[in-house]
Amino acid sequence: MTDKSKDDELLREAQHIAQMTRHYVIANFAHTLEEATDLEVYQALSAAVREKVMMHWTATQQSWAKARTKRLYYFSIEWLPGRFLANNVFNLASMDLITAVLAILKRQPQQIISQEEEAALGNGGLGRLASCYLDALATHKYPAIGYGLRYQFGIFKQQIRYGNQLETCDDWLITEQAWGRQNDLHSQYVKFNGELITNLNDLGEEIYSVRNSDLVRATAFEFPIVGYCKEDYSAVLSLRLFSTANSPTNFRLQDFNAGKLDSASELRLLTDVLYPSDLTITGRKLRLYQEFLLASAGVKDLVREYRLLHGDDLKLLSDWVVIHINDTHPALAIPELIRCLMKNEKISWDQAIDITLMCFRYTNHTVLRESLEEWPSEMIQNHFPVHARIIERLNQTFCDSIRKKTQSEEMVRRMTIITSDKKVKMAHLAAAYSQYVNGVAQIHSDILKRDLFADFAALYPNRFLNVTNGVTPRRFVAIANPQLSQFITKLLGSDDWIHNLSLWEGLKPFIHDRAVLAQLMEIKHSNKQDLIQFIHEERERKEGMPIPRERISDEFFDGNALFDVQIKRFHEYKRQMLKCLHLVMLYFEIKENPSTERIRRVALFAGKAAPSYYIAKCVIRLIFMLARKVKNDPIVSRFLRIIFVENYNVTHAMRIVPAADVSDQISTAGYEASGTGCMKLAMNGALTIGTRDGANIEMEEEVKRIAGPEFWPFGFGASADQIHALEKSGDYDPIHIVEQHPLIAKAMHALLSGEFAENEIEHQTLLDLHDNLLKGAYSSKADRYFVLQDLPSYYETQKQVEKLYQDKEKWAQYSLCNILSMGKFSSDRSVKEYADKVWQIRPCPLDPMVITKIDEEFQSSNVCNVPLSAQETFLKKHVS
């Protein structure tokens, strides 16, 4: 197609969508376009775009049903899809389309897009990864479905008041939903509680059911996940989320009548709120209920779908179905599938186990001991007696096979699913009954094999794999950073990189091109200005009044300062404290040498702390105190600013990531399974200051391999082996480090003396942080995560950062070298690896016959088809 005819088509499409938007504004809100609010325009525009999405969705589902392909069912208790409207329009067509439509409608794109509350149904990495994978699966047309829960309230909204994290309700469903719709075809009934009944099936084997159980209706809501595709039809996958709210059958009227209000509503409230912790949730019945709800409703739904497509013989299930559990949270799907297989079927226990083993795959996302799920078997027994019984038998069968294989009772004791103190180890259940188990970066997969699953790996060596994480370049480069995207497209002469990121290596010829480097810096500069503007607007919205622009700009200096960002959940092992201590050292250094020329630096933090994580909240308060101190100091504030961006979420990530110069990936080596923020930041040109942990290691390998060893300049700190040795020997002494480094001693002393504090509570916070590093608290060792161990090395490396940043052109060259080496970290690569090595599924293109039929049927009933008009000239002026 020529550029001219492409433009014409875009204009025609824009006009059509604008017309439909007008139609929906009147038809749904009884408003004309002029009087419609931004929210109404957002809703109407979404409805218009949705029509197109629906056609592609229908075509996808019909094509795949016709082709009878194997499908992936991806179970995750957390999803973080981010805003839908812009993403869907981009993946279907282009951002120009939205710009064009809104130019016709005379509305500001950003104003309309930001009406959408993002679906924040997860805590962090694990949930966002699931969403990146659905995006990649759709883009490459893999038959897949996501299952999850539709929490009424997602992760809390974070506000910082005088350094305190306040949590408020995330009421994302308060306005009508444009993208997630109820689909009762997929709603299921799930049984909780009751008494176990044992019967025999046709084969004379025990099968189980319950009596007097609570029947809970899991209402299905579906979100279309639109794949990126420019040439023909996009594949559209379903993200299917279950909810127990609003279903009248979930109300216990008898309890209500007896005045027991809590119990009356219990079952309707199961999906009320996401647990806001990615650490531990001990013994919470409601959380167990949530996990069971997802597992049971999901498995029932996929079995229903299987029967529809392939008939009633469940023996062939694994030919057509692969079930992936995203960490252990949905692991009750294993006993649930066994139950479904054996119920009324001529399937024996042994066969049921074989089928289950062939169907399941499991990804582990953490090595933190306290984050491994263990449920008291009594709790499972009380609420899910059938599943408790099945787990017991699964454990017997598994332990028998270990006994037979090893003749070692010690091995049986170590590998058992149910421990001697009657806890169900979910990781063992998942590892014992999944065909493949994988970690999320090479180092993490190695640690799993050496440590957590050492016995399993010895007995089942082929079960353990690595699939390094990846992130979607659509959302996190093409949409978040349009300037960089257009620039790369221009340099490469094509935008094919959007679905094939390995093409970025083709940027190598430009690394000595001074004009290219200058342009790259200019783009970064402009992205920093945009971030400042965004934060300005957020503050105005929060405070409900205009703020002079200079005030915000001044807080950030301007786009010429170095933006050094650490954006992630607050966790001791992620070591925001390390960065804080560096800032304290910098503060003293500047104070002592006020006339030294140095770069200006903006240290930006964003991230939430689990509401009950005391030390993490102390670190947030410390950042607040430091920011205040630095800002009020006439000398230090000439060189340093500290910013905390509240309520970090996907939308904020999309604004911060393109503006970053330096990406802090400074976890204690051996603790961050992979990390994915590191990839997003590097793709957008930030240089990583990082430990040899998680995916950093592979990023380093890629940069060195593709661009050259000098282009990964800021690695620092102890290796995982060194940390491990320190932990084992027990002779790590943080006090010794403090004594050796006067500037570190000064920084630690500043915590003790309280010179950053303005009141008693603040001082106590500093003391607790100090003691956490030098004394240890609550039976845990001093400086458990080796902050002080790595501080000297971090400090020195930050000096190198400052040195390199003084030479802007050289910095740009390093930045480009990092960008062009990130091809591996696209979720497209990860998903293809999973498809080949783990899931054994293949892409399935959409069927042209199906498309033709749907097109015809849709066009014949399409009421808003408008021909091109005189508006074309007007449009051409507004659309690039």
Which of the residues 50, 52, 569, 629 is marked catalytic? 569
Shortest spacing between CB 364 and ligand 26Q, in angstroms: 9
Q: How far apart are CA 771 and CA 773, in angstroms?
A: 5
Catalytic residue among 83, 186, 365, 621: 365
**Which single residue is written with the structure tokens 């007696």?**
385
In the annotation, is 680 catalytic? yes
- If one asks whether residue 830 binds ligand 26Q (CB under 6 A), the answer comes out as no
Q: Which range of residues in 184-192, 502-510, 639-647, 668-676 is near ligand 26Q by CB under 6 A?
A: 668-676
Nearer to ligand 26Q, 123 or 395 (CB): 123
Minimum CB separation of residue 151 from ligand 26Q in Å reads 14
Can you tell me the distance from the alpha carbon of 272 to that of 172, in angstroms, rounded to the nearest whole number?
12
Strands (E), 586-670: 601-606, 640-645, 662-665
Site string for ligand 26Q, 122-151 (x = CB under 6 A): -xxxx--x----------------------
Could you list the beta-strand ranges (E) of 212-343.
214-226, 236-243, 321-326
The answer to whether 675 contacts ligand 26Q (rule: CB under 6 A) is yes
Q: Which stretch binds ligand 26Q (CB under 6 A): 118-126, 526-534, 620-628, 751-759?
A: 118-126
- The yes or no reply on residue 674 touching ligand 26Q (CB under 6 A) is yes
Minimum separation from the CB atom of position 460 to ligand 26Q (A):
22
Query: Which residue, among 544, 605, 552, 553, has the nearest Cα to 574 in the 3D structure?
Result: 605
User: Considering only residues 680-719, where is the footprint of ligand 26Q by CB under 6 A?
Assistant: 694
Q: How far is the CB of 556 from ligand 26Q (least distance, A)?
A: 28
Distance of closest approach, residue 281 Cβ to ligand 26Q, in angstroms: 4
3-state secondary structure (DSSP) of residue 205: coil
Q: Are 199 and 209 in contact (CB under 8 A)?
A: yes
Q: Which of 177, 468, 469, 696 binds ligand 26Q (CB under 6 A)?
A: 469
Identity of the residue, 329 or 652, whose beta carbon is nearer to ligand 26Q in the bound complex: 329
Report the alpha-carbon distance of residue 666 to residue 572 in Å, rounded.
11
366, 576, 813, 821: residue in contact with ligand 26Q (rule CB under 6 A): 366
Give the active site residue among 141, 252, 680, 829.
Answer: 680
Q: Half-sphere exposure of 748 toward its Cβ, with a 13 Å CA cutoff?
A: 22
Least Cβ distance, residue 293 to ligand 26Q (angstroms): 15
Distance, CA of 74 to CA of 80 (rounded, Å) = 14
Q: Which amino acid is at 674?
A: S
d(CA 50, CA 44): 10
672 contacts ligand 26Q (rule: CB under 6 A): yes
230's tokens: 């420019």
Query: For residues 208 and 375, which CB has a smaller minimum distance to ligand 26Q in the complex?
Result: 375
Single out the residue of 16, 252, 365, 621 in contact with ligand 26Q (rule: CB under 6 A). 365
- 695 backbone dihedrals φ, ψ, rounded to 5°: -75, -15
Q: Does 278 bind ligand 26Q (CB under 6 A)?
A: yes
Rounded to whole angstroms, how far apart are CA atoms 256 and 266? 11
Q: Which is nearer to ligand 26Q, 92 or 683 (CB)?
A: 683
Structure token digits, residue 614? 């005391």
Rounded to whole angstroms, the Cα distance separating 347 from 338 reads: 10
Using the minimum distance from each CB to ligand 26Q, give the nearer residue, 694 or 754: 694
Nearest-5° angle of CA 694, CA 707, CA 567?
A: 40
List the one residue from 371, 381, 483, 553 that touches ligand 26Q (CB under 6 A): 371
Minimum separation from the CB atom of position 313 to ligand 26Q (A): 36
Active-site position among 356, 366, 472, 676: 676
**Calpha distance 251→265 (Å, rounded):** 6
Q: At what angle do helices 85-92 and 38-67 cross, to 10 degrees?
A: 50
Q: Is 676 in the site for ligand 26Q (CB under 6 A)?
A: yes
Burial class (CB in 10 A: 0-12, 13-18, 19+), 400: exposed
Q: What three-state secondary structure class fits 367?
A: coil
Nearer residue to ligand 26Q within complex by CB, 121 or 673: 673
Q: Which of 389, 475, 568, 641 is catalytic?
A: 568
Token reading at 20: 């439909």
The nearer residue to ligand 26Q, 43 or 676, going by C-beta atoms, is 676
Options 377-385, 430-438, 471-479, 673-681: segment touching ligand 26Q (CB under 6 A): 673-681
Please confirm, yes or no, whether 244 is among the known catalytic residues: no
CB 378 within 8 A of CB 454: no
Is there a catalytic annotation at residue 569? Answer: yes
Whichever of 146 and 694 has its CB closer to ligand 26Q, that residue is: 694
Q: What angle do CA 386, 388, 394 make, to 5 degrees?
A: 105
Q: How many whole angstroms separate alpha carbon 631 and alpha carbon 619?
A: 18
Of the candidates 16, 324, 574, 832, the residue annotated as catalytic is: 574
CA atoms within 13 A on the CB side of 740: 9
Q: Which of residues 583-622 bind ligand 26Q (CB under 6 A)?
A: none
For ligand 26Q, the closer of residues 224 and 670 by Cβ is 670
Residue with the CB atom nearest ligand 26Q in the bound state:
125
Give the burial class of 337: count Cβ atoms within 10 A of its Cβ; 0-12 exposed, 13-18 middle, 19 or more buried: buried
Options 170, 373, 555, 762; binder of ligand 26Q; rule CB under 6 A: 373
Nearest Cα residue to 119 out of 157, 156, 74, 154: 154
Q: Judged by CB, which is closer to ligand 26Q: 674, or 813?
A: 674
Alpha carbon distance 312, 301 (integer Å): 14
Where on the chain is the footprint of ligand 26Q (CB under 6 A)? 123-126, 129, 278, 280-281, 365-366, 371, 373, 440, 469, 672-676, 694
Catalytic site positions: 365, 568-569, 574, 676, 680
